[in-house]
Amino acid sequence: MKQQKQRAFLKWAGGKYSLSDTISKMLPKGGRLIEPFAGAASVYLNTQYSHYLLNDINHDLINLYQVLQHDAAQFIADAKMLFTPEQNQAEQYYLNRQQFNDSDDPYLRSLLFLYMNRHGYNGLCRYNSKGGYNVPFGKYKRPYFPEDELKAFAQKAKVTEFVCEGYRDTFARAKDGDVIYCDPPYVPLSKTASFTSYAGNGFGLDEQADLANAAEEVTREKRVTVLISNHDTIWTRKIYEHADQIKAIKVARTISQKGATRNKVGELLALYKPKV
């Protein structure tokens, strides 16, 4: 009997729900799956490893995951109170956003991060140069409260370690038998189509090339497999030229509000196998 696919509880630009089957088939068996770019964690939710290590440079995201890991029932009850008609008003949204930006309380920020993800424009996650969350109100009729998805995530979090660090630090944690899946901020298809600053840190072409280098290095030094996803461009085909396998696919964009305007774009999956 085929296991039902699990959706992430967050909306996320570049989320991998639609691709998770394809990615899972390319990932080998192993003791632990490591994700240096966790995002909404759709691959994590739709794979079956005994242990997981999830990293993301976005501290608010990892904080939310850790809160869910330790106190899911209370968090879900409190978050549900933010999904009411009164909270789905522009004025209230901006008050909540300001409260988020003014607060350093991890629990409050985790509640408001989920609230803004579901009530903000297009599920975007974006910060200004001062680190303030600045996504505008989304104007949805009735934002969905992902209770079942939160519970599923909290259950899986019992066998997961969450960290917030650079991807190189996460690679350094890999041990023989681990599998690494990388979903970095994608190489933009145009000069204006970049979501790379969502954590306040740019992820430019130098970082893209360094990530490919990191995959080559770890597979030479340890019995570790690495899979990287990205846009299919001349640049990415060049930096992944030493991969053991390249798979090219067409994927529908999922971040646009109007479904009819979503175009299919080319994606690459680059697999690096252990050399030891």
The tens digit of pLDDT for each residue in 206-228 reads 999 999 999 999 999 999 999 99
Do 215 and 272 form a contact (C-beta atoms < 8 A)?
yes
Query: Which domains does the chain carry?
Result: 20-58+164-272 (3.40.50.150), 65-148 (1.10.1020.10)
Instruction: Give me the pLDDT at residue 24, please.
Output: 95
DSSP of 145-208 = --HHHHHHHHHHGGGEEEE-S-HHHHHHT--TTEEEEE-PPPPPSSTT---TTTTS----HHHH
Q: Is a pLDDT exceeding 50 seen at residue 275?
A: yes
pTM of structure = 0.91
Q: Is 240 a residue whose pLDDT tops 70?
A: yes
- pLDDT value at 12 more than 80: yes
The CA-atom distances, in angstroms, between 150 and each of 47, 184, 191 are 17, 24, 35
pLDDT level of residue 198 (50, 70, 90 thresholds): very low
- Report the range of poorest mean pLDDT among 10-14, 51-55, 149-153, 169-173: 10-14
Q: Which of 115, 103, 106 is nearest to 78 (CA)?
A: 115
Q: Which residue has the higher pLDDT, 81 or 197?
A: 81
Binding residues: 12, 16, 56, 183
For residues 178-201, give the mean pLDDT.
71
Band of pLDDT at residue 201, cut at 50, 70 and 90: low
Q: Which residue in the block uniquely carries the two structure tokens 């190189």?
A: 168
- Binding positions for S-adenosyl-L-methionine are 12, 16, 56, 183
The amino acid sitting at 256 is S
Note the pLDDT of residue 228.
98
> How far apart are the C-alpha atoms of 196 and 201, rounded to whole Å?
7
- C-alpha atoms less than 13 angstroms from C-alpha of 79 in its C-beta half-sphere: 30
In the prediction, which pLDDT does 120 show? 97
Tokens of 191: 């000069």
Q: CA angle 118-46-48, nearest 5°?
A: 140
Of residues 192 and 175, more confidently modeled: 175
Residue 195 is predicted with a pLDDT of: 46
Question: Quick one: pLDDT band at residue 196, thresholds 50, 70, 90?
Answer: very low
Give CA separation, 205 vs 8, 69, 188, 211, in Å.
Answer: 28, 34, 10, 10
Q: Given a cut of 60, is residue 199 above it in pLDDT?
A: no
Specify the pLDDT at position 15: 83
Average per-residue pLDDT in the chain?
A: 92
254, pLDDT greater than 90: no
Residues 6+ apart with CB under 8 A from 160: 44, 51, 52, 53, 54, 65, 69
In whole angstroms, give the CA distance from residue 269 to residue 263: 19
Question: In the prediction, which pLDDT does 262 show?
Answer: 57
- Tens digit of each residue's pLDDT (9 = 90 or more) over 109-145: 999 999 999 999 998 999 999 999 999 999 999 999 9
Is the pLDDT reported for residue 255 higher than 70?
Answer: no
Q: Between 202 and 160, where is the model more confident?
A: 160
User: pLDDT band at 77, cuts 50/70/90?
Assistant: very high
| Average pLDDT estimate for 161-177 | 98
Residue 197 has pLDDT above 90, yes or no: no
Give the pLDDT confidence score for residue 69 in this predicted structure. 98
State the pLDDT at residue 191: 54
Beta bridge partners of 227: 181, 271
